[in-house]
Amino acid sequence: MSNYIVLTKQVPDITQITDNAFDPETGTLIRSRLASVINELDTQALAFANYMKKISADANGKIVALTMGPPMAEEVLRYSLGRCADMAVMLTDKALGGADTWATANPLAYAIRRIVKDFFAANEDYYVVCGMQSVDGDTAQVPPQIAEELSSPCIAYATGAEFENNRFEFTRIISGGSEVVAARKLPAVITVAKYEYPLFATFAGTRRANRMKIVCWNGDDIKATHIGAKGSKTTVIRVFPPGKSTRKCKHVSDAKTLAKLLVESFKSDGAESGDGNGKASCYVLPKRRRDKFDKSFERTKKENEDFEILSRTLKDLGVSEVGQIDDDVKDKILSAAGERFHKKVLDDMIEGLKLTEPSFTGEVWVVAEHSSGTIHPAIFELIGKARELADSLETKVGVCIAGDKVEPTAKELIAAGADNIYIIEDKLLKVFDPNAHRKVIADCISKHWPQIVLFGATAQGRMLAPMISYKLGCGLTADCTSFDIRDISRTGHVAILLQTRPALGGNVMATICTKDSKSQMATARPGVMKRLSPDKSRTGKTIRHQVKLSDGDTGLEIIKTELGSGAVNFNVEVIVSGGKGMQSRDNYDRLISSLCDCLSEKLGTPVERGASRAAVEQDFAERIHQVGQTGTAVGPKLYVALGISGAIQHMIGVANTETIIAVNSDPNAPIFKQCDYYVVGKIEDVVPQLIEALEAE
Amino acid sequence: MPNDKDYNKVNVLIVGAGPAGLSCAIQLKVQKPDADICVLEKAADLGNHNLSGAVLETEPLHTLLDTAIPGWRDSESAKDVLAKKIRKDNVMFLLGKELSFNISFTIKLAKKFGLGFGQMMHKNDYIVSISKLTKWLGQIAKELGVEVLTGFAAEDIILDESTGMTKAVKLVDQGLDKEGRKQPNFVEGETIRADFVVLAEGCDGLLTEKFVEKAGLKRRCPQLYSVGVKELIKVNSRQYKKFTSGRVVHAMGYPIWTPVLGPGLFGGGIIYPADDDNIVVGMIVGADWKYRDFNPQDALTNFKNHRFVKQFIAGGTVIEAGAKMIPEGGYYSIPRDPQTGSIGKGNCIIAGDSAGFVNMLKIKGLHNAIDSAIAAAKAIVEYSDNPSATAAKYTELIESSNVAKEMRSARNFRQTVAKFGPLQGMPISVLGGLLPEFKIEEDYKAMTAARYRLKPKQQFDKDTFTAMAATEHREEQPCHLEILDSKICAEKCTPKFNSPCITFCPAGVYETVHDVVKPANPSNCLHCKTCQRKCPFDNIRWTVPEGTGGPRYKRM
């Protein structure tokens, strides 16, 4: 008999963000202005757990809903109880507030332990089922971190389950396809990527749920080791509004020019228009600066100016060593600086002046992702970024790669900018098993302790990084779009990594730094950083790392792998979408397919087909292809919109696209004001011309 | 133990968590704390489906809350909802795109002479957002122990054929796909039994109309409707100050009525201030419009472009928008039992806008909604042992109350206008109660092949409008809008009127797909139900989609 613990989270309803939801001064979200709802993927997780219970024909299995949050988060538990949960546990305590993912996973794992002890009679046959990620944080870190704390296998991105031979087999998404897996041991953590049938509330069930008692625990009840802001390993140091992207809206008169622009915009460097070009390279270590009072690499302009005033005043007073600053000097500085800073601030600054050594030491690492020895393109981008960071920190770039026979990759990794390649080889690493991979990579990191470890924010990286960072007690920031090295001397930080990422569905940007950790870890969004052009003459070292692995170290049994299934993968660089202007299903099939094929061949990248809601309504395409607010939100490099009018609901879903190209026969189509290049003309005419021009390019 | 209870049975089931439904629930809970009182609401959250001007006459609300929660006036919510007392009350007459005349004095004059439309005074009333008011009332109700269940849509009402008593309300099935096939998460609509049912669904209630038919209630005159479209516009603080925060403007004339030249439509525009430098601009048009290409949103566009209006909103951004109907038929359109005259029957009561308690002389109905709901609660409490007489008792309370007094005084106004047109109708209506009762046709019969003379060149951007209404439905569910006979569309409506539903639906739900007029975008629906009242061939039916679907008004 299996039991189930479903993790649920209350989140602000970011689909309903209004103009007044953000503080105009600070750009931070005014939480009270947004409705609170249950995280949508958690509703799917709940239905998934219910489905598992159903297919295993096990009426005795209990479903327990668990949440951590302020008292009002009780609503998500009522939601769960009204649908299928048998009981609900609420973790609420002021001391738990302000937690990062580390300090969220930790108390949740301890609460899970207590649930198992108190309500499952210590029966270890249970599944922790959660949504893949929450819409507000978007990190997808908590479930793998919980798996790490519980030493459990983690089955991420599940889309289905079957009950065969008395055990569960899960279908999960992997890059380029899907696989069927089973957990080698229990408990196991399941993260649900998509389960289409969330449960509906019933009248009776809701009334009953509203009368049920919820188990409430505080921090002391679960005895977690790391809670709240105090137990966190990262701190948000700044929240700001994202830069508004402005579309070019250029009219193009012929297909030939359009073909040219299309190829150019695909090949152009994404990092230029993105927000990923933090200039870490302009950072200079304190020991290289012109004088010891030079503090011109602080995080904010104000701090830089404060230190400049301080350093100037010290020079005017003839002070050349920090040790010479006594109370008398301080008074003089304060009077010279006027109202600029208080005594407490000055004391902190003087402490800051004493710091000359970086807060972290070691190399800058990238953990390589590969598929049978073919390196994922995002890794080269990360190496490019790591090179820049390492140069300003005057250290080396290391790449850690684990697999079976991966040594041949060393050359291209070095050519991409790496100095040291750390190779871990084992037959058991041939396929990606998160538990086995995290074991060997964590082991290798803990031997060398690089100061920075970067992972690709890919499906694999977003699962591996949280497990590794949790295992090593390090903070982790997800999905970064820019990195910077800066000092925050007043709080005693020198040469730390500033990690900037979008949050709340891209509505705000947050800059985060690591604390209480031996290494600064982050995953970085693919397509944002800049790869270097390969330099075959570069030299580097390969260093082998041995870790003993046995079958027991793997968490998953892979039953079946299917690549390139008919599933829609919007995680591609080019999407061609059709709207109502396609006129008919036949047109849609014929024109979109031929343009997709042509682009795919010409640009050497997979191209996916999309559709507007109107096109789906008219039955030109299946619902699964729908792009937009109610379909899938996409963010490719290139989005080609054919016969799409540009309704706001559609455009919201493509907002993160780098270049939007539109073709429409209506010269007043709103999309022309929201795209980069457009052609006015009939789809049936323009598309064949475009294909011809592309082939001639 | 919560498990032992039959949760599909309640003492009082109130359909619709609007001001009427919630007021009724509050009053009931105060008088009968032990009763199981449930309020059903199809919207995802409280206030999401409520849209009104709105000017609120507060007496009934005060009466309700003074007994329910002493000291309510000092609460933060009360101060927030009732923040704007009206200090200045303007009635404007607009002529052409430029001219405007302040005709407030005529109203004052009318009042002095005791004429009907002298009631159209708003000074010392409050400007409120009905979405916010509803949310607040819902919270009060919940705190008192009322079970307010949002996200549940009711599709039918079940009567006992032998006794005529109402037995239950049936909820809509959930988890059907577009073709009506059961998905794995299918849940059959539950049947909720109740001792008493209060229908407080608002204008043109689905269950109310079913009940009227099943219980054999009759209206002396068909219900007449208006369609209101409204936008909340963020303006700059200079404009907002210029408008002034305690002022309401009601405008007549352009762009829906101009003497001699036309157009000749009933209705008017509103401009009210809201919070945070937001200004409400709205247009209300009688649903008996005769122009086949008319859309109230076009009138709104023209209104916004009139010089008088433009000065306050030019350069502003629309941040919320919505549309709703208003029942305007008045006293003669109240559904009643033909024998007893009761508004409802047996243990089922109709309250608020569902009954049609809008006073057209005041152009207000909120106060009557609350007042009638209090009467409903009192009737239920008094007749808790004799459910079969509750509706009669309720009607007795209504007839002796201010609601009926107001409704009677305004009884002929809208019909007079409908009969004689805005030009002659208004002056004739001065005669008020002296007039005979007119025979009036349903709004949809008014359609002609004529065109709206002031049609703007630019097509109204309905996509943005629906986005601002934040409307949402689960896509994979059966279409909740039904065209009864598509042959009528193809053979009669399209040739004669060019399918007006495509134009007038404020959300762009209707479209021609492969030469067939269809409700192609049901998920855009704003639940205003204009289509089922304005299709010139009475060929459209609005049914209820799954709960939680529909607009998400927050400040309407």
Note whether A18 contacts B: Cβ–Cβ < 8 A. Answer: yes
With 0-12 CB in 10 A as exposed, 13-18 as middle and 19+ as buried, what is B439? exposed
Distance CA B194, CA B179 (A): 32
Contact: A197, B185; criterion CB under 8 Å:
yes
Task: Select from A15, A19, A203 the Cβ nearest to the Cβ of B192.
Answer: A203
Give the tokens for residue B307. Answer: 């010089």
**Residue pointed to by tokens 């033909």:** B338
Contact: B5, A35; criterion CB under 8 Å:
no
Note whether B521 contacts A: Cβ–Cβ < 8 A. Answer: yes
Note whether A202 contacts B: Cβ–Cβ < 8 A. Answer: yes
Contact: B276, A199; criterion CB under 8 Å:
no
Q: Does residue B455 have a pLDDT over 90?
A: yes
Q: By the 8 A CB rule, do A419 and A540 touch? A: yes
Closest chain A residue by Cα to residue B471: A16
Distance CA A627, CA A616 (A): 10
How would residue B1 be classed by pLDDT, with cut points 50, 70 and 90? very low
pLDDT at A594: 93
Work out whether the CA dihedral B484, B485, B490, B492 comes out positive or negative: negative
Distance from CA of A583 to the nearest CA of B (A): 9
Give the tokens for residue B411. Answer: 């009884």
- B100 φ, ψ (degrees, to nearest 5): -145, 140
Alpha helices in B314-412 (DSSP H): 366-382, 390-399, 402-409
Note whether A35 contacts B: Cβ–Cβ < 8 A. Answer: yes
Contact: A617, B45; criterion CB under 8 Å:
no
Distance CA A389, CA A454 (A): 11
Work out whether the CA dihedral B525, B530, B535, B538 comes out positive or negative: positive
Note whether B125 contacts A: Cβ–Cβ < 8 A. Answer: no
Distance CA B367, CA B124 (A): 14
Contact: A200, B185; criterion CB under 8 Å:
yes
Q: Does residue A136 have a pLDDT over 90?
A: no
Note whether A205 contacts B: Cβ–Cβ < 8 A. Answer: yes
- A168-216 residue pLDDT tens: 999 988 766 788 999 999 999 999 988 889 999 999 999 999 999 999 9
Distance CA A189, CA A49 (A): 12
What distances in angstroms separate CA A413 from CA A421, A525, A546, one per listed residue? 8, 19, 20
What distances in angstroms separate CA A411 from CA A342, B242, B435, one per listed residue? 55, 71, 98
What's chain B's average pLDDT? 93
Q: How many CB atoms lie within 10 A of CB A207?
A: 20
Using DSSP's 3-state secondary structure scheme, residue B240 falls into helix
Note whether A446 contacts B: Cβ–Cβ < 8 A. Answer: no
- A332 φ, ψ (degrees, to nearest 5): -65, -40
Note whether A207 contacts B: Cβ–Cβ < 8 A. Answer: yes
pLDDT at A273: 36
Distance CA A332, CA A338 (A): 10
Q: Does residue A361 have a pLDDT over 60?
A: yes
Work out whether the CA dihedral B172, B177, B178, B179 comes out positive or negative: negative
Domains by residue range for chain B, with CATH: 7-79+129-219+334-411 (3.50.50.60), 86-124+223-327 (3.30.9.90), 469-542 (3.30.70.20)
Distance CA B263, CA A77 (A): 56
Distance CA B422, CA A249 (A): 47
- B417-454 residue pLDDT tens: 777 776 666 666 666 656 667 778 899 999 999 999 99
Contact: A618, B467; criterion CB under 8 Å:
no
Question: Which residues touch A590 (CB under 8 Å, ≥6 apart)?
Answer: none
- A402-424 residue pLDDT tens: 999 999 999 999 999 999 999 99
Q: By the 8 A CB rule, do B131 and B51 touch? A: yes
Give the tokens for residue B137. Answer: 């009332």
Q: How many CB atoms lie within 10 A of CB B311?
A: 11
Task: Select from B185, B190, B520 the Cβ nearest to the Cβ of A203.
Answer: B190
- What end-to-end distance do the CA atoms of chain B give, in Å? 41
What distances in angstroms separate CA A319 from CA A309, A324, A341, A343, B260, one per listed residue? 14, 6, 19, 18, 91
Q: Provide, rounded to the nearest whole percent, the portion of chain A with pLDDT above 90.
A: 58
Q: Does residue A26 have a pLDDT over 70?
A: no
Task: Select from B184, B470, B520 the Cβ nearest to the Cβ of A617.
Answer: B520
When pLDDT is averaged across residues A449-462 and rounded to a whole number, the result is 92
Nearest to A310, CA basis, from A297, A329, A286:
A329
Closest chain B residue by Cα to residue A213: B2
Contact: A208, B147; criterion CB under 8 Å:
no
Distance CA A93, CA A218 (A): 5
Task: Select from B45, B187, B475 the Cβ nearest to the Cβ of A35.
Answer: B45
Task: Select from B3, B184, B513 the Cβ nearest to the Cβ of A618.
Answer: B513
Using DSSP's 3-state secondary structure scheme, residue B15 falls into strand
Q: By the 8 A CB rule, do A61 and A3 touch? A: yes
Distance CA A188, CA B478 (A): 38
Distance from CA of A439 to the nearest CA of B (A): 40
How would residue B258 be classed by pLDDT, with cut points 50, 70 and 90? confident
What residues of A are in contact with residue B277 (Cβ under 8 Å)? Answer: none
Nearest to A273, CA basis, from A264, A260, A281, A285:
A264
**Pick among B1, B12, B129, B187 to test the A interface (most A CBs inside 10 A):** B187
Distance CA A379, CA A412 (A): 11
What residues of A are in contact with residue B12 (Cβ under 8 Å)? Answer: none
Distance CA B219, CA A368 (A): 76
- B146-188 residue pLDDT tens: 999 999 999 999 999 999 999 999 999 999 999 999 999 999 9
Note whether B171 contacts A: Cβ–Cβ < 8 A. Answer: yes
Distance CA B122, CA B101 (A): 19
What residues of B are in contact with residue A200 (Cβ under 8 Å)? Answer: 174-175, 185, 187, 546
Q: Does residue A366 have a pLDDT over 50?
A: yes
**Pick among B80, B171, B475 to test the A interface (most A CBs inside 10 A):** B475
Contact: B190, A204; criterion CB under 8 Å:
yes
Distance CA B78, CA B63 (A): 14
Q: Does residue A484 have a pLDDT over 50?
A: yes
Distance CA B15, CA B175 (A): 22
Task: Select from B171, B185, B234 the Cβ nearest to the Cβ of A203.
Answer: B171
pLDDT at B435: 67
pLDDT at B464: 86
Contact: B467, A20; criterion CB under 8 Å:
no
Note whether A203 contacts B: Cβ–Cβ < 8 A. Answer: yes
**Rounded to an integer, what is the distance from CA A55 to the centroid of its chain?**
33
Distance from CA of A312 to the nearest CA of B (A): 44
pLDDT at A138: 81
Q: How many CB atoms lie within 10 A of CB A338?
A: 8
Q: Does residue A271 have a pLDDT over 60?
A: no
pLDDT at B274: 94
Q: Provide, rounded to the nearest whole percent, the portion of chain B with pLDDT above 70.
A: 96
What residues of B are in contact with residue A647 (Cβ under 8 Å)? Answer: 463, 467
Q: By the 8 A CB rule, do A234 and A477 touch? A: yes
Note whether B188 contacts A: Cβ–Cβ < 8 A. Answer: no
- A291-326 residue pLDDT tens: 888 888 998 888 888 898 888 888 888 888 888 888
Distance from CA of A201 to the nearest CA of B (A): 8
- B42-51 residue pLDDT tens: 999 999 999 9
Closest chain B residue by Cα to residue A208: B2
How would residue B261 be classed by pLDDT, with cut points 50, 70 and 90? confident
With 0-12 CB in 10 A as exposed, 13-18 as middle and 19+ as buried, what is B478? middle
Q: Does residue A278 have a pLDDT over 50?
A: no
Q: Which residue has the higher pLDDT, B505 or A669?
A: B505
Q: Which H/E stretch holds residue A374? A: strand A374-375
Nearest to A378, CA basis, from A268, A270, A258:
A270
Give the tokens for residue B59. Answer: 């007496």
Domains by residue range for chain A, with CATH: 3-152+187-232 (3.40.50.620), 250-268+568-696 (3.40.50.1220), 276-282+359-554 (3.40.50.620), 286-354 (no CATH)
Distance from CA of A492 to the nearest CA of B (A): 42
Q: Does residue B144 have a pLDDT over 60?
A: yes
- Of A237-241, A485-489, A568-572, B492-496, least confident by mean pLDDT is A568-572
What residues of A are in contact with residue B475 (Cβ under 8 Å)? Answer: 613, 623, 630
ipTM: 0.93
Contact: B7, A207; criterion CB under 8 Å:
yes
Nearest to A353, CA basis, from A289, A301, A280:
A289
